[in-house]
Chain A
Amino acid sequence: MLEATPTESGLGRRAFLKIGAAAGALLIGFPLRPAKAEAGIFAPDAFIRIASSGDITLIMPQVEMGQGIYTAISMILAEELDAAFDRIALEAAPPNTKLYANPVFGIQATGGSTSVRAWWTSLRKAGAGARALLIAAAAQTWGVEPRTCRTANSEVLHDPSGRRLAYGELVGKAASMTPPKNPPLKAVADFQLIGKPLKRLDTPEKVNGKAKFGIDALPPGVKFAALAQCPVFGGKVGRVDDGAAKAVPGVRQIVVLDDLVAVVGDHMWAATQGLAALDIVWDEGANASVSSAQVWAQIRAASAKDGAVAKSIGDPAKIAGSGELIEAAYELPFLAHAPMEPLNCTVHLTPDACEIWVGSQILARAQAIAAKVTGLPLDKVVVHNHLIGGGFGRRLEVDYVETAVRIAQKVEGPVKVVWSREEDIQHDIYRPVYHDRMSATLADGKIVGWKHRVTGSSIMARWLPPAFKDGIDPDAVDGAVDIPYEIANLRVEYVREEPPAAPTGFWRGVGPNNNVFAIESFIDEIAHKTGKDPIAFRRDMLVKSPRLSAAIELAASKAGWGGALPARVGRGLCAQVSFASFVATVAEVEVDNDGEVIVRRVVSAVDTGIVVNPDTVIAQLQGGLIFGITAALYGEITLENGRVQQNNFNDYRMLRIDQAPAIEVHLIKSGEAPGGIGETGTTAAPPAVVNAIFAATGVRLRRLPIDRDVLAGRKPA
């Protein structure tokens, strides 16, 4: 869909993740904006503006979609700036790749659980650099040595003389000074904000209805549009009878494009009713007979071929199996994102400008696609980014922006295009289907050989082409090539298999979800086969991984691992190193006689390095686990006749509060560089749940979502 621009030469997820704890050191500083003296504003870099009034505005390079990043970024900047945290204001960064590109991707993108890791060092330097200038300005004013001054609460203080100057009073002088190249950063022990469970800055307006999401944009004169895209992927509009639709009160216009029809009205009700009144005949095209059966047949066949070698250690003969050979295959289905805020985008297109109101995880691409569609230069496309009502990777795509701009090309004045929930589910860009073939060779009850062949589509080849190299998608093998277990002979392969019809993209967790599910399920199977306790079995292979080992021991102890449980109740473990975080999770589940699974309790122990806001980290684990349990228990998108068969939350189910388990999250103190956190819980839950189901029932489920017929004994495993 989108071509990578030359600037998009980012490292890619795996490269970044492999660097792990050293990641911060690798990130180069961002270009400093020249200090500005005009209008009494001190803007030492792209992230901080201090007015002579003392008001401090922090510019947010990452977007807020519930993960608490506005608060975390503010804490990092304010920490090194020594700014009064209760008096800062936030501003979303405009599209500007040069200033605000995520250092991991080289694109202005929020995803991959990268925000804190990516910006950790450069934002600290930004804050420290500004602070050094303010100290220098105060020292010069007083005629004292800068080293005799300190800062606190948006003030510079000179203790020997008892003098103090507020940051606002220093703005003019500081703006005329040259920023230091390597401002000293605080020692971890001196942090005042980082590590404290501060209240989130975006919460107050989210409890009183004032928060504005993209869908809440109401530019003057806006019209409302509902749309129908061809239900078969890739199909076109055949013919449209719009007689009845035009008669619906409030309908203003029917827009027919080659692949979709939109009805524009005075409000969403008119647009929706108008759309329902249309008689559309689709030209379904080449995908009209695609079904899930075909998708699975194709991927299974593809997985029989050798793949590109993503990692190889030791002796191939031992990998092929000279001792006892154990094999298994695991599968994951297509998944929709289903963010609570359905896709939407508001566009006002005039002959020489385009204004857009949207919530996007990838702002610069939203701007670029509008420029491409309209032919306008980039600087004539203004994008107002908003709070995001759920991203989960869906809003890393800009198809919904492109669609809205194409509709806006036919509409006079601003138009808000809102997808119905059904469109949102049936025209998603889906988490890919995966098929993982695992084999392990055992000698003396230990794994001596390991082979993991991942088969699935390459998201990176489409989304960030430079990251797809030598037949390897770094995201697809993320979590497989960096398997934490010490195995002497190991091989990881990747087979790229693009499914027919359905487009695929990022989802909360993507690659690690698949690989950790396959690895942790398989390790659990092998442990049981060797008669060992799953934790004891893992412990022997993690001698060199103290951080993961510590997480496992803590989770096990808090969860009461090994303690007695009633019949058909079991505990299962998932241990993972993903997104540079070390997480161990124990799920406790009950399986009733009808095959229904009740997740009773989940305990996670997490070492994610230095924690910026512990309450946010805990919240992300709690929510991520629920997201993962939802996928394990319910998540599946299926195709028939080239169409998605699910419609709404009745048949694409979400976990609800009455099904949510008790969740405990235990943070492990660490001085290592921060890891990523937003996707870890989602990765952890499914393997922990299926391993617990095995412990409860002796039934091994190797594909998701769980099959209740198998668990009830109505169908063989």
Chain B
Amino acid sequence: MIALRINGETKNVEAPGDMPLLWALRDLLGLTGTKFGCGVALCGACTVHLDGEPVRSCQLRIGEIGGRAITTIETIGATSAGAKVQKAWLDLEVVQCGYCQSGQIMSAAALIAATPDPDDSDINAAMSGNICRCGTYVRIREAIKLAAKSA
């Protein structure tokens, strides 16, 4: 039994310690907003926050997390940066199929939280690990800038 602090609650997971957090979230806890895309940290679809830092949950083993706080797309709207990003995403209609967008939003929220006024190179650095096959990059860039400007 492994105890995890997820979205402000402690969850006990009956699973081997080498299990990536991604599968614990999706298959054991029903938090399916975090997506599986590649399994090897190449696409960013599985991005969550660990103590506020963006991490690829497909590479983070549950036995190595300890007491650090996990935040997923389901509650990122409760943070100031997350709410701004979600609103900007809606205002600019960023989303197409939407499958990668949980990961995009988690990466963008971490960026805004750490760098309140990101420039293009900050955005490239923070977001180039997140693939969007629908090609919403133009709007992702605009939405991050809009989120940064919003109060």
Contact of A209 (CB < 8 Å), options: B73, B127, B139: B73
Please tell me if A714 contacts chain B, counting CB pairs below 8 Å. Answer: no
Are B93 and A622 touching (Cβ within 8 A)?
Answer: no
Using CB atoms, name the residue of chain A closest to B141: A657
Are A421 and B102 touching (Cβ within 8 A)?
Answer: no
Are A418 and B95 touching (Cβ within 8 A)?
Answer: no
Interface residues of B in 42-73 (CB under 8 A from A): 42-43, 45, 72-73
Bound-state CA distance A615–B139 (Å) is: 12
Please tell me if A388 contacts chain B, counting CB pairs below 8 Å. Answer: yes
Shortest distance in angstroms between A212's beta carbon and chain B's nearest beta carbon?
7
Q: Which residues of A contact B74 (CB under 8 A)?
A: 208-210
Are A208 and B73 touching (Cβ within 8 A)?
Answer: yes
Shortest distance in angstroms between B109's beta carbon and chain A's nearest beta carbon?
11
Please tell me if A204 contacts chain B, counting CB pairs below 8 Å. Answer: yes
Contact indicator per residue, chain B 67-111, by CB within 8 Å of chain A (1) or not (0):
000001110010000000010011001011111111001000000
Interface residues of A in 245-304 (CB under 8 A from B): 249-250, 266-269, 272
Are A67 and B96 touching (Cβ within 8 A)?
Answer: yes
Which label, helix, strand, loop or mixed, suits the secondary structure of the A interface? loop
Known A208-B33, A388-B97: A268·B131 in contact at CB below 8 Å: no
Are B42 and A648 touching (Cβ within 8 A)?
Answer: yes
Interface residues of A in 378-393 (CB under 8 A from B): 387-392
Please tell me if B2 contacts chain A, counting CB pairs below 8 Å. Answer: no
Shortest distance in angstroms between B130's beta carbon and chain A's nearest beta carbon?
7
Bound-state CA distance A391–B98 (Å) is: 12
Contact of A342 (CB < 8 Å), options: B33, B37, B72, B98: B37
Shortest distance in angstroms between B96's beta carbon and chain A's nearest beta carbon?
3
Interface residues of A in 159-208 (CB under 8 A from B): 199-200, 202-204, 206-208
Are A657 and B140 touching (Cβ within 8 A)?
Answer: yes
Are A340 and B43 touching (Cβ within 8 A)?
Answer: yes
Contact of A338 (CB < 8 Å), options: B98, B123, B130, B133: B133
Are A421 and B39 touching (Cβ within 8 A)?
Answer: yes
Which label, helix, strand, loop or mixed, suits the secondary structure of the B interface? loop
Are B36 and A207 touching (Cβ within 8 A)?
Answer: no
Bound-state CA distance A627–B72 (Å) is: 28
Contact indicator per residue, chain A 654-689, by CB within 8 Å of chain B (1) or not (0):
111110101100000000000000000000000000
Using CB atoms, name the residue of chain A closest to B30: A218
Contact of A657 (CB < 8 Å), options: B30, B96, B137: B137
Are A215 and B97 touching (Cβ within 8 A)?
Answer: no
Using CB atoms, name the residue of chain A closest to B37: A340
Bound-state CA distance A616–B42 (Å) is: 28
Q: Which residues of B contact A339 (CB under 8 A)?
A: 97, 99, 133
Using CB atoms, name the residue of chain A closest to B127: A657
Using CB atoms, name the residue of chain B closest to A613: B93
Are B99 and A341 touching (Cβ within 8 A)?
Answer: yes
Q: Which residues of A contact B130 (CB under 8 A)?
A: 656-657
Shortest distance in angstroms between B1's beta carbon and chain A's nearest beta carbon?
13
Please tell me if B26 contacts chain A, counting CB pairs below 8 Å. Answer: yes
Using CB atoms, name the residue of chain B closest to A71: B93
Contact of B135 (CB < 8 Å), options: A209, A342, A387, A624: A624
Are A387 and B137 touching (Cβ within 8 A)?
Answer: no
Shortest distance in angstroms between A63's beta carbon and chain B's nearest beta carbon?
11
Please tell me if A712 contacts chain B, counting CB pairs below 8 Å. Answer: no
Contact indicator per residue, chain A 624-644, by CB within 8 Å of chain B (1) or not (0):
111100100000000000000
Contact of A267 (CB < 8 Å), options: B19, B34, B40: B19
Known A207-B89, A269-B16: A213·B99 in contact at CB below 8 Å: yes
Are B42 and A206 touching (Cβ within 8 A)?
Answer: no
Are B128 and A658 touching (Cβ within 8 A)?
Answer: yes
Known A209-B73, A657-B141: A340·B132 in contact at CB below 8 Å: yes
Are B135 and A623 touching (Cβ within 8 A)?
Answer: yes
Please tell me if A420 contacts chain B, counting CB pairs below 8 Å. Answer: yes
Binding site for A on B (CB under 8 A): 15-16, 19-20, 23-24, 26-28, 30-40, 42-43, 45, 72-74, 77, 86, 89-90, 93, 95-102, 105, 123-124, 127-141
Excluding A266-B27, A341-B37, A625-B135, 16 further A-B contacts by CB distance (< 8 Å) are: A66-B95, A66-B96, A66-B97, A68-B96, A199-B90, A200-B93, A209-B32, A218-B27, A268-B23, A340-B99, A340-B131, A340-B134, A390-B99, A616-B93, A623-B96, A649-B42
User: What are 27 contact pairs spanning A and B, CB under 8 A?
Assistant: A65-B97, A66-B98, A67-B96, A206-B98, A207-B86, A207-B105, A208-B86, A209-B33, A210-B74, A218-B32, A269-B19, A340-B45, A340-B131, A341-B99, A342-B36, A387-B97, A389-B98, A421-B38, A421-B39, A622-B139, A623-B134, A648-B40, A649-B43, A654-B131, A654-B133, A656-B137, A657-B141
